[in-house]
Amino acid sequence: MNFNQLKAVFRRYLVIAVPVLFFISCNDDKSANNSTPGTSETDTTTKTETVVAKKKSGKVSANVTADDASVKMEKDKMGYYNRTEVLPSFDGGQSAIENYITNNIEYPQDAIDNNVEGIVNVQFGVDENGNVSNVSVVGNKIGYGLEEEAIRVVSKMPKWTPGQVKGKNVKTWRTLPINYRLEG
């Protein structure tokens, strides 16, 4: 059993245990507060503890990886290169991509509620003019809205500097791994 599964089991027991303990303590208070005839009733204050669960939040990061130079440079049926001599680049580099993703992706609440984390690999094309298009997810899917949110944000990315082959701007495929992880 991994750590996240243990946390989920603990939370389930907490959901059951807290109301039961509260009920028991309230019943004990009632029996202690019963005054017997001929005695004066003293001021009794009921202590109530509030359990506040720390709200989880999600953090998202992205890191563009370099192309594998050992892979043969080829153009597919759609006219996109799998690799280029000059890679497409995002204005501002890796830190700008990281800022864009962090500031625009919203970690889906359903994924947070279900303790879902993981990496979504988003593939997209950068055309000769630097426009982002043909956005999709490749590899294993995680679910809980993570893929849809990643596609939504990557589809709205600003222009890139296009990739080049023999000094000419060309259409190029890129893959952006988007890492969703929980905090709290």
Residue whose tokens read 């495929």: 173
CATH code of the region 57-183? 3.30.1150
pLDDT value at residue 89: 95
pLDDT value at residue 47: 43
pLDDT value at residue 56: 64
Full-model pTM: 0.65
Q: Domain locations in the chain?
A: 1-53, 57-183
What's the mean pLDDT when you consider all of the chain? 77
Label residues 150-180 b or e (16+ Cβ within 10 Å = b). bbebbeebeebebbbeeeebbbbbbebebeb
pLDDT value at residue 17: 42
- C-alpha to C-alpha distance for 170 and 71, rounded to whole angstroms: 18
Q: Which residue has the higher pLDDT, 26 or 92?
A: 92
What is the per-residue pLDDT across 109-149, written as a single tens digit (0 to 9) for each? 999 999 999 999 999 999 999 999 999 999 999 999 999 99
Q: Give the model's confidence band at 154: pLDDT under 50 very low, under 70 low, under 90 confident, else very high.
A: very high
Of the spans 20-29, 53-62, 73-82, which averages the highest pLDDT?
Answer: 73-82
Percent of the chain clearing pLDDT 90 (strictly above): 58
